[in-house]
Amino acid sequence: MNDSHPTWPDPVEIRLQSGLNRTFREAFDALYFLEEEWPTRHGAAYDRARRWCRLAIETDQAAEVARKAFIAAARQAGMLAGEPPGSADPAPTRSVA
């Protein structure tokens, strides 16, 4: 395991349910938040973020992918700071012909 936990070049800011913002600068903190404090622990983006953050803790080469996956999970959950609440992309719907 890599003990250095490289920081992300650009931090990720999310909006907590309390309305406060929290800044993440590395995969280690993001993974802890995903596993212990994330309000909705399901969905493809959430699972992908957990997987990539774990990998980024093991190898420095996955750090940027983990950051992007964490952003996608926050966006899907409507928690990405700087975006209006509820602006997450709606689930795709199938049209019936």
In order of 62, 73, 91, the CA distances from 55 in angstroms are 6, 16, 27
How much is the pTM?
A: 0.81
Residue 7, pLDDT score: 83
- DSSP 3-state of 33: helix
Residue 86, pLDDT score: 57
pLDDT 10s digits, 65-91: 999 999 999 999 999 998 766 555 544
Distance between CA atoms of residues 22 and 59, nearest Å: 25
**Spatial CB neighbours of 2, under 8 Å, sequence gap ≥ 6:** 57, 58, 59, 60
